[in-house]
Structure 1
């Protein structure tokens, strides 16, 4: 296995009608559909993207 810390990010609210920068953050995390869960590396950049759209996503430690 890898020794990198990972986090699970799930899109819980719709992206329609949101600020373009927030939509870009969600896409950058790899999320496309509602209730989709992706596992991304826990880096300062991905953590910042998740924090920016905190009201649309759920973050869990993996």
Structure 2
């Protein structure tokens, strides 16, 4: 069984850099309050770190 993390979009992407908007979309998040359960990989962790001010993570 692989480890997963739950990622929730808690802040709007309006007014953020385009690359940060693209990263949020890459995580599969479109609406505030939306939750995705993702595999805990270095790539996903890097994406989360890039937009940490927009998302909340639960291990």
Segments of structure 1 that go 5 or more residues without pairing to the other structure are none
Corresponding residue for 1:43? 41
Q: How many pairs does the alignment contain?
A: 59
Give secondary structure in 1 for the equivalent of 2:16. coil
C-alpha deviation, 1:29, in angstroms: 0.4
Q: CA RMSD in A?
A: 0.5
Instruction: Determine which structure has more spread, i.e. the larger CA radius of gyration.
Output: 1
* Residue 9, structure 1, aligned to residue 7, structure 2: yes
Give secondary structure in 1 for the equivalent of 2:24. helix
* Residue 53, structure 1, aligned to residue 48, structure 2: no
State the alpha-carbon separation in 2 of the partners of residues 44 and 6 from structure 1: 12
State the alpha-carbon separation in 1 of the partners of residues 47 and 17 from structure 2: 14
C-alpha deviation, 1:17, in angstroms: 1.1
State the alpha-carbon separation in 2 of the partners of residues 37 and 18 from structure 1: 20
